[in-house]
Structure 1
Amino acid sequence: MSSLNAAVARVTDRIAARSRTGRQRYLDLMEREADRHRREMMGCSNLAHGFAAALEDKEAIATSRGPNIAIVTAYNDMLSAHQPYGRYPEQMKLFAREVGATAQVAGGVPAMCDGVTQGMDGMELSLFSRDTIALSAAVAMSHAMFDGMALLGICDKIVPGLVIGALRFGHLPAVFIPSGPMPSGIANKEKQKVRQLYAEGKCGRAELLASESASYHSPGTCTFYGTANSNQMMMEMMGLHVPGAAFVPPNTPLRQALTRAAVHRLAAMGKGGNDYRPMARVVDEKAIVNAVVGLLATGGSTNHAIHLPAMARAAGILLDWEDIDELSAAVPMITRVYPNGSGDVNHFHAAGGMGLVIRELLGAGLAHADVLTVAEGGMAQYAEEPFLDGDSLAWRPSPAESADPTMISSMAKPFMPDGGMRLVQGNLGRGTFKTSAVGEDRWTIEAPVRVFETQEAVSEAFKAGELDRDVIVVVRFQGPRANGMPELHKLTPPLGVLQDRGFNVALVTDGRMSGASGKVPAAIHVTPEALGGGPLSLLRDGDVVRLCANKGQLDVLADLTGREPALPGEAMFGTGRELFAMFRHAAGGAEQGGSAMLEMAGL
């Protein structure tokens, strides 16, 4: 194992220095919470309420005979990724009893699917569902009945929300328990081809639906490397999974064995034992840096440029985009998973998966090895792969070489010399440019802008032929305070068509695109957002903008002095959006995590 990379060490030290006061305040709070919120301190009436329905476990809970594990679940059977969770609680209760522990479902959290809501009004609730999930997790954990947290969540906002909520109970140990990806469907290139044909009007809705149904087709996580699967990668890198749990398929013996091991580890890590591993100590500055490094090495979702700062803040840690940018320059990208490559996460897992990636990172000194994890073997165990030895779960070294060098390469032969997530900034603000999915010949675009305020208006202009030229499409009033910062997936097919027609095209927006975004150059999450007079509000059609990932540039070449900022359209009503007005009103900037809850809490 090599010594720690100088850039990784430097960024980690900078984050720790910047966070010193807030981090100590958080740790002090967790120490006080550990002393104050114990089941044995509860009144008899309180305690009786807490175990009244625990028919098989009443005596054990009443007498504190063993640790009581909280199950916080994001189960619903509309989300394919979360449908397998329906049977987990009963299984987990049995696994807990095997080691003298008990388990109760402490509460459920909402779990919306961005795949269902993309391009729909419901997407405007998506980012703030993360705050709602964190709040719901806090409600679930508020009963002081528990000695550990089993967190059942996978998809886009759900894992970050659970992390934020659980960290406020960080005096307890926590393990995230995934359910695994669905089997691979049709080839990703074929899916992308049909989407573009539909955007051009060359195939109908029936053909498009048949294609999408062949891709998203059964229980399990969607198989492209978007935010959901980036979440699973990060839980491995942060030491919050049982090692190797991320991409094992659902409803298999190995998946069940990993869930069993997670429950057993939770029972062993409580304060009453001799292996106390509170979440507050697992999620430290080094763990956050490891998560960023994993994101960059695997070409993960740009959504985590927002989620990671928010998650870090919940642990008293301050992470910003300059930290991510500097790490990106130091961390080579060694995987290509769709949309950055042709294979999906099942192919990635078969090629060596997270064990191989983590071994490469540790071997190159690009990840912190000296971190506390839920695994007894520390970070080194995450460089191994789980398997069943008869009926027993065991781990063995990950493969020495990738089984598919087109999916996973090595530090000696990376796909890109950097992590492909760059900070662009200038007189239009600061944004994120994901270079890993974009050809290098398109990293610099200079063109007149066409300004829009909705995805629908872009689609109409595209269909009318108004964008058949070199153009930078600006979609503004899409930030957290304007409309909840939806993902703008409707833009990808038409902009991709324009690019294929030979035009120089780019997107600049204060909205979001996820790990599912593709080949069109884009400055996303631009902050300050247009609402409130941000520079994007001053742009007019025809202004020339220069976007350059090589130089980290986001500039308008026109003089904006004296211009009056444009104003957004009417407030959003319907689909429950009016209920989230308080979140929009109080939301922080994208670089700070886009959270109303964290802003109002002063975190």
Structure 2
Amino acid sequence: MPLHPKVAEITDRIRARSEGPRGAYLERLSAARDAGVTRGHLACGNQAHAYAAMGADKEALAEGRVPNIGIITSYNDMLSAHQPFETFPATIREAARKVGATAQVSAGVPAMCDGVTQGQTGMEMSLFSRDVIAMAAAVGLSHNTYDAALYLGVCDKIVPGLVIAAAAFGHIPGIFIPAGPMTSGLPNDEKSAVRNRYAAGEATREELMAAEMASYHGPGTCTFYGTANTNQMLMEFMGLHMPGASFVNPGTPLREALTVAGVERAAQITAAGNDYRPVGQILDERAFVNGIVGLMATGGSTNLVLHLPAMARAAGIHLDLEDFADLSAITPLMAKVYPNGLADVNHFHAAGGLQYMIGELLDAGLLHPDVETVAGTGLARYTEEPKLRDGKLSWEPGPGQSQNDKILRPAGEPFAKTGGLVQLEGNIGRAVIKVSAVAPERRVVEGKARVFHDQESVKTAFRAGEFTEDTVVVVRFQGPKANGMPELHSLTPTLSVLQDRGLKVALVTDGRMSGASGKVPAAIHVSPEAADGGPIALIRDGDRMRLDATTGSLKVLEDLSGREPATPDLSANAFGLGRELFEVFRQNAGPATSGASSLMRV
């Protein structure tokens, strides 16, 4: 199937917009590549420090004739998704020795859990942890002793941060190694129902805790289709995983075999071999377009609308909200995974998963087929399923049809004709809304504004019974410059209860919602943010507002001219739980439309 003309047009638009920065990036990559295998240029003393603790690998490292693979790990045992990484370095080192290579843990990067910090002060550092992760990985790789890198990460800000670092070291190959999702526990819709009952005062804290523990119950990624699992999808669509690696459960023989295969492949694609594949060349505009199409086809996390522009800029590519909206408009929604449906990612994977979906989208002309990937040339490799046959890993043709059409459908018979992401514009700026889980009759909301400056005030008003009519809940001063742009997911049960009571309700914010945001219409990432002079700071209680996701409109139906912007005291955001250390990030954060990064602003 030839490439869809709109996909070609959008790709050409991105390429033209990025011509200058991408050209400069590739020149830097070329210069670094031409410098050759790096260890040979280090002084003996430099090298001795790097190899001192490497035991039996010291001689091979000192001779400098075999590939040395740097491991960037986000292991900790507070994140269920990252706990399996504890044993990966030993597996990687042993696999490297068997193919005549060496491997060293180059750096550990911090990895925080938004599930733990949700609704808490720590969430105000969550988005900026992406930039910290990129910088920490860069510190590890700056030792300049590596011919390739393996990036061990899964969750929300970790993968985007690691991609930014990989792009900064784009002259060396890089492969992303996932850990996989936990096995299925309490169904996500049942967990959500208990949350809503608790918010309405109809369930005890003991009942809520029991439901949460039954849902989040073991090692691996949370099973709903939030940011962590969207990240894993993205790494396959962009060709940075080994094919089929995303959704294999931890602790299984296939999971370990895929990790070993990633090590073997990393050794093969270094500059010392004959299939050199620097990650900076893989990360071109076609790869990012493929990633956005995957985001839309799966109904993935809105957080990636922030992360993808930041990741792309690290590789000299400029994405805009219009690229997301235009690709969404032509991409069919093929999957129903919670919160867009009842299934979890294990069910999705069993139904045919990413291999079936990539095959369908290639056949529909919606993906660039000719991209470079870590597995070779062409995205068709990612239609193949990994299998263990007599203890040996092989790849076989993936499923030719969905195994469950309630979860996964063909591109020609989708759940919806579009990916469900809409750009909103109006007299308070630009925003995005995800409507794939929002009922059609709830996609237009007109009502009086209720304005708040924090999440807790919304909950207080709810408990006081103040929401009695159709309402647009405005929560501002939640952008990156104000307080680090925390997720406002803890509002979801409250707003869901109002909606279930028959009210039309919408959220408008310059903050974020969770990657698991669902049935409540939410205009998020409003830019410019209130703390940066955005018109959202002009809204007053009682203003008539209209959110129309069918036309892409977000308006205050009042004359805003002559109003003075709200100027709340934000000094409390600067201290406590380490927030004082992040002041430099808040001061230098770019707008949400370009990724809200303090690193990649131009």
Shared fold per TM-score greater than 0.5: yes
Alignment of 1:351-430 (within 5 A): 351-376=351-376, 378-430=378-430
**Deviations for 1:416-435, whole angstroms, at most 9, x for unmatched residues?**
10010110011011001101
Structure 2 SS opposite 1:588: coil
**Pairwise CA distance, 1:250:** 0.4
1:248 — aligned with what? 248
1:455 counterpart letter in structure 2: Q
1:163 counterpart letter in structure 2: V
Q: Does 1:39 align with 2:27?
A: no
2:5 — aligned with what? 6
**Pairwise CA distance, 1:570:** 2.9
1:335 — aligned with what? 335
Kept in 1, the 8 Å contact 2:438–2:521? The answer is: yes
2:17 counterpart letter in structure 1: R
Kept in 2, the 8 Å contact 1:68–1:147? The answer is: yes
2:118 — aligned with what? 118
Q: Does 1:21 align with 2:23?
A: no
2:320 — aligned with what? 320
Cα distance in 1 for partners of 2:156, 2:360 equals 26
Cα distance in 2 for partners of 1:396, 1:406 equals 25
1:489 — aligned with what? 489
**Deviations for 1:495-529, whole angstroms, at most 9, x for unmatched residues?**
00000000010000000012211100110001000
Cα distance in 2 for partners of 1:385, 1:407 equals 19
Alignment of 1:560-575 (within 5 A): 560-571=560-571, 572=573, 573-575=575-577
Structure 2 SS opposite 1:597: coil
2:593 — aligned with what? 591
1:74 — aligned with what? 74
1:576 counterpart letter in structure 2: G
**Pairwise CA distance, 1:595:** 0.5
Alignment of 1:52-63 (within 5 A): 52-63=52-63
Kept in 2, the 8 Å contact 1:299–1:436? The answer is: yes
Kept in 2, the 8 Å contact 1:422–1:434? The answer is: yes
**Deviations for 1:324-375, whole angstroms, at most 9, x for unmatched residues?**
1000001010001000000100000000011001001101010011000011
Structure 2 SS opposite 1:503: coil
**Deviations for 1:385-416, whole angstroms, at most 9, x for unmatched residues?**
11101111111111111111011001121001
Structure 1 SS opposite 2:376: coil
2:363 counterpart letter in structure 1: G
Percent identity between the two aligned chains: 59
1:557 — aligned with what? 557
Cα distance in 1 for partners of 2:35, 2:538 equals 52
Cα distance in 2 for partners of 1:223, 1:117 equals 18
1:577 — aligned with what? 579
Alignment of 1:441-460 (within 5 A): 441-460=441-460
**Deviations for 1:253-291, whole angstroms, at most 9, x for unmatched residues?**
000000000000000000011100000111100000000
Alignment of 1:431-450 (within 5 A): 431-450=431-450
Structure 1 SS opposite 2:374: coil
**Pairwise CA distance, 1:156:** 0.1
Kept in 2, the 8 Å contact 1:199–1:493? The answer is: yes
**Pairwise CA distance, 1:31:** 1.2
Structure 2 SS opposite 1:94: helix
Moved more, 304-313 or 514-523: 514-523
Alignment of 1:81-160 (within 5 A): 81-160=81-160
Alignment of 1:156-555 (within 5 A): 156-376=156-376, 378-555=378-555
Cα distance in 2 for partners of 1:191, 1:594 equals 32
1:269 counterpart letter in structure 2: I
**Pairwise CA distance, 1:35:** 3.1
Kept in 1, the 8 Å contact 2:449–2:545? The answer is: yes
1:545 counterpart letter in structure 2: M
**Deviations for 1:464-507, whole angstroms, at most 9, x for unmatched residues?**
01012110000000001000000001110010000000001000
Kept in 1, the 8 Å contact 2:371–2:377? The answer is: no
**Runs of 4+ more than 3 Å apart:** none
2:50 — aligned with what? 50
**Deviations for 1:113-171, whole angstroms, at most 9, x for unmatched residues?**
00000000000000000000000010010001000010000000000000001111000
Cα distance in 2 for partners of 1:568, 1:112 equals 29
Cα distance in 2 for partners of 1:108, 1:159 equals 13
Cα distance in 1 for partners of 2:464, 2:580 equals 33
Moved more, 319-328 or 373-382: 373-382
Cα distance in 2 for partners of 1:241, 1:356 equals 16
**Deviations for 1:75-105, whole angstroms, at most 9, x for unmatched residues?**
0000000000000001100000111000000
Cα distance in 2 for partners of 1:435, 1:146 equals 44
Cα distance in 2 for partners of 1:570, 1:133 equals 26
1:17 counterpart letter in structure 2: A
**Deviations for 1:226-267, whole angstroms, at most 9, x for unmatched residues?**
000000000000000000000000000000000000000000
Kept in 1, the 8 Å contact 2:296–2:420? The answer is: yes
Structure 2 SS opposite 1:394: strand
**Pairwise CA distance, 1:50:** 0.7
Cα distance in 1 for partners of 2:375, 2:568 equals 50
Structure 2 SS opposite 1:318: coil
Cα distance in 2 for partners of 1:187, 1:51 equals 48
**Deviations for 1:293-343, whole angstroms, at most 9, x for unmatched residues?**
000000000001100000000000000100110000010100010000001
For structure 1, list consecutive stretches of 5 or more residues without a partner in the other structure: none
**Pairwise CA distance, 1:377:** 5.7
How does the TM-score come out when normalised to structure 2?
A: 0.99
**Pairwise CA distance, 1:65:** 2.3
**Pairwise CA distance, 1:59:** 0.8
**Pairwise CA distance, 1:203:** 1.0
Kept in 1, the 8 Å contact 2:14–2:319? The answer is: yes
Cα distance in 2 for partners of 1:529, 1:376 equals 42
Cα distance in 2 for partners of 1:365, 1:579 equals 47
Structure 2 SS opposite 1:513: coil
Structure 1 SS opposite 2:55: coil
How does the TM-score come out when normalised to structure 1?
A: 0.99
Kept in 1, the 8 Å contact 2:92–2:103? The answer is: yes
1:323 counterpart letter in structure 2: D
Cα distance in 2 for partners of 1:381, 1:570 equals 51
Kept in 2, the 8 Å contact 1:339–1:515? The answer is: no
Cα distance in 2 for partners of 1:217, 1:108 equals 25
Kept in 2, the 8 Å contact 1:119–1:489? The answer is: yes
**Pairwise CA distance, 1:56:** 1.4
